[in-house]
Amino acid sequence: MPLDKEYFEYPHRSYGMDHDYYDWSMLADRAPISWPDGKQVALWVNIALQYFPLNQQGKPFAPTGGMTTAYPDLRHYTLREYGNRIGIFRVLKALDEYGVKPTFAVQTRLAERYPYLINKLLERGDEIICHGYHMDAPHYGGQDRGEEAELVERSLSGLRQITQREIKGWLSPSKSQSFNTPELLVANGVEYMCDWINDELPYTFRTPAGEITAMPLSTELEDRFIIQANLHSESEYADQIIDAFDFLHAEAEETGAGRMLALSIHPWMLGQPHRIGKLEQVLAHIMSHSNVWSASAGEIAGWKA
Amino acid sequence: MKEDPGLYDYWPYENRPKIEWPNGARMAFWVAPNIEFYELDPAVNPHRKAWPRPTPDINGYGTRDYGNRVGHTRMMKVLDKYGVRGSISLSTALCEHHPEIIEQCKERDWEFFSHGIYNTRYTYGMDEAQERAMIEDAIETILKHTGQKCAGYLAPALTHTEITMDLFAEAGGIYTCDLFHDDQPTPVHVRGGQKFISVPYSLEMNDTITYVVNKIEPRRYGEMIKANFDRLYAEGADNGVVMCVPLHAYQVSHPHRLRAFEEALEYITGHSDVWVTTGREIAEHYIEHCYDDAVADIAAKAG
């Protein structure tokens, strides 16, 4: 039986994108960005603080980094908890040693469970963004709109209440969205989201409720992606991040256009004793350059040159 | 279903008629950037899902869109630097979506060949008339937007039917990139008897297969390309070979990858007996100078 006639219809085959979320635009064609004080590379270090429930439902897909064995998966539950107990403190030390300003993407369930850790972050004063409710509460295509609206509201209001902060940024669990997610985020006062990985600089994203800034948080350069998904070594992680920085740095110098290096870091991954030294190596290399602007996600998203 | 696709005969890699490339080159070297458009919400093919997650799978979509927004410019700059003209495996709807990219390729006299209309529209399940219409649409789109008569084919997302090659040859194509059985061009059987060949395209050197499927580190990819080149270049002293590096701007152009690739390209183009060329030029040369000898030799050895 041949395919349906519909398979040969191309309703969006025209100039630009096949949706209305954002305009088609090549990075090289845009007006160059200048970061503050003539800095050339903005460094966004995003630390994900996640809670993986032991009773994971995994619907409609298992969360990235989630449970894999039959219940109770103590091995993965505790490996992820390691990040919130041990790894995060090693990571904080490394950040402070090299004068790096982090952004913490916190899941609301984690904030509810671990007030000590949240107070620690609040004392530091770094930016906190909402990373959804927990890893097993995804936003996804086909999700009931009312159900997702409640989830967005609960995640944001809960984190705002606990932190007494505005919370302007958002990172979805497993970087998954429905067609409604951006609109619901705008309706809940979110100014930028970090789920779309189609660019290297912030850009404007449209929703029926108004605009939101897309802040591309590279998956290719994520610790979990390189080490866990690609099974590359710790040394390879350091090589790849350093190569990426050197490349962006050279491109910024050559073109005069500011670049952004977005590092997505999970304390349960890089916070292990055999890996933390590689994070230190990477940060030492980057911060040895005087034209790096270490900034929070909100500062970068809001920067108008 | 058949046991054998019936597209070529067994033909051992020894004592073949010698392929002479222009200017006595040992190797025809070509780079095939895939310039693709993946749809956010494509029509559903019952034989293959477009995306692993429920639509919108913004991870898969964003990964590809990055290639067009960010990666393409970087890759083009590197190819320019080493005098390489790309042979583009094109999702032809990109002519409509992103004509700026097409213009940049035209300015450089790059070749455009068909990679279907969208890389999210699969050939699986098409009947003959449907597949012919899809192939002709792509060829017409290339002609309209680039002025080029499409010579080559890489099926969209490498999805085929049993008659894909027949239909493409009937539509005027002369080469396919879909077969990985050889390091030299070979004749391909098509039902209409046209002179139609396979030009080696190499999945093993393909950046997506390397980085994503085989999970190869960026610097190691550069080393693999050099090793592949060294052996083929040595063998090419006896009989001309083809080496192809298929690329995707959404893979190789990431900042942690492009420099290692560039080093490999610098290495290859630093050799004197390399014909840096395009898929079409290889196919035309082979059909004119080598095809008949090859057919005769294959027939003799089948005995």
Tell me the DSSP string of A83-119: IIIIIHHHHHHHHHHTT--EEEEE-HHHHHH-HHHHH
Two tokens, residue B213: 């499927």
Domain that holds residue A270: 33-302
pLDDT of residue A223: 98
Structural domains of chain B, count: 1
Domain that holds residue B178: 28-302
Residue for token pair 């040969």: A8
B248 falls within a domain: yes
Report percent pLDDT > 90 for chain A.
99
B1 falls within a domain: no
First to last CA, chain A: 58
Give the Cα separation of B7 and B162 in Å (integer).
10
Give the residue from chain B lying closest to A214, CA to CA.
B62
Two tokens, residue B59: 């991870």
Answer whether residue B303 shows pLDDT above 80: no
All residues of chain A having their beta carbon less than 8 Å from the beta carbon of residue B53 are: 60-61, 140-141, 176
The whole-chain average pLDDT of chain B stands at 98
All residues of chain B having their beta carbon less than 8 Å from the beta carbon of residue A195 are: 58
Question: How big is the CA angle at A172 (ends A168 and A178), to the nearest 5 degrees?
Answer: 110
pLDDT of residue A304: 85
All residues of chain B having their beta carbon less than 8 Å from the beta carbon of residue A28 are: 73
Give the Cα separation of A282 and A287 in Å (integer).
9
Two tokens, residue A128: 């906190």
Domain CATH number, residue A63: 3.20.20.370
- Cβ neighbours around A38 below 10 Å, total: 10
Cα-to-chain-centroid distance, residue A165: 19
Answer whether residue A162 shows pLDDT above 90: yes
B100:A29 CB<8 A: yes
Residue A214 makes CB contacts below 8 A (sequence gap 6+) with A22, A192, A193, A195, A196, A199, A202, A203, A204, A205
pLDDT of residue B6: 96
Average pLDDT over residues B242-268: 98
Q: Between B258-269 and B72-81, two packed helices, what is the crossing angle to 10 degrees?
A: 20
Answer whether residue A24 shows pLDDT above 90: yes
Is the minimum CB–CB distance between B118 and chain A shorter than 8 Å?
yes
Best interface-test mutation with B: which of A26, A193, A203, A246 has the largest number of B CBs within 10 A?
A26
Question: What's phi and psi for A189, nearest 5 deg?
Answer: 80, 15
Two tokens, residue B214: 């085989």
Residue A302 makes CB contacts below 8 A (sequence gap 6+) with A191
Question: What's phi and psi for B195, nearest 5 deg?
Answer: -75, 100
Give the Cα separation of A5 and A3 in Å (integer).
6
Give the Cα separation of A178 and A171 in Å (integer).
13
Two tokens, residue A132: 């959804």
Two tokens, residue B127: 């009947």
Answer whether residue B122 shows pLDDT above 70: yes
b/e sequence B162-176, b meaning 16+ C-beta within 10 Å: ebbbbbbbbbebbbb
Q: pLDDT-derived band of residue A1, with 50, 70 and 90 as boundaries?
A: confident
Average pLDDT over residues A69-73: 97
Structural domains of chain A, count: 1
C-beta pairs of A293-296 under 8 Å, 24+ apart in sequence: A293/A35, A293/A36, A293/A37, A293/A39, A293/A41, A293/A42, A293/A43, A294/A43, A294/A45, A294/A99, A294/A100, A294/A101, A295/A35, A295/A42, A295/A43, A295/A44, A295/A101, A296/A44, A296/A101, A296/A102, A296/A103, A296/A126, A296/A127
What digits encode the pLDDT tens for the residues B172-231?
Answer: 999 999 999 999 999 999 999 999 999 999 999 999 999 999 999 999 999 999 999 999
pLDDT of residue A51: 98
B175-B178-B181-B183 Cα dihedral, nearest 10 degrees: 60
Closest CA to A269 of A205, A219, A226: A226
Closest CA to A95 of A113, A65, A114, A121: A121
A20 falls within a domain: no
Q: pLDDT-derived band of residue A305, with 50, 70 and 90 as boundaries?
A: low
Complex confidence, ipTM: 0.97
- Cβ neighbours around A267 below 10 Å, total: 26
pLDDT of residue A41: 98
A15 falls within a domain: no
A140:B53 CB<8 A: yes
Cα B3 to Cα B6, B7, B162, distances in angstroms? 9, 12, 12
Shortest CB distance from B53 goes to which of A17, A61, A240?
A: A61
Shortest CB distance from B73 goes to which of A16, A28, A199?
A: A28
Is the minimum CB–CB distance between B59 and chain A shorter than 8 Å?
yes
pLDDT of residue B246: 98
The whole-chain average pLDDT of chain A stands at 98
B272 falls within a domain: yes
- Cβ neighbours around A257 below 10 Å, total: 17
B22 falls within a domain: no
Average pLDDT over residues A98-119: 98
A60: preceding bond cis by omega (within 30 degrees): yes
- Cβ neighbours around B18 below 10 Å, total: 10
- Helix (H) or strand (E) holding B217, with range, is none
pLDDT of residue B155: 98
A11 falls within a domain: no
B237 falls within a domain: yes
- Helix (H) or strand (E) holding A138, with range, is none
Cα B203 to Cα A91, B176, B207, distances in angstroms? 40, 13, 8
A2 falls within a domain: no
Give the Cα separation of A187 and A208 in Å (integer).
9
Q: How far is A13 from chain B (nearest CA, A)?
A: 6
Q: Between B258-269 and B218-235, two packed helices, what is the crossing angle to 10 degrees?
A: 20
Q: Between B279-289 and B291-302, two packed helices, what is the crossing angle to 10 degrees?
A: 70
- Cβ neighbours around B62 below 10 Å, total: 23
- Cβ neighbours around A157 below 10 Å, total: 15
Is the minimum CB–CB distance between B38 and chain A shorter than 8 Å?
no
Residue B142 makes CB contacts below 8 A (sequence gap 6+) with B90, B92, B95, B112, B113, B114, B148, B150
Cα B176 to Cα B95, B184, B279, distances in angstroms? 21, 13, 9
Two tokens, residue A113: 């469970």
B226 falls within a domain: yes
A16 falls within a domain: no
Domain CATH number, residue B156: 3.20.20.370
B56: preceding bond cis by omega (within 30 degrees): yes
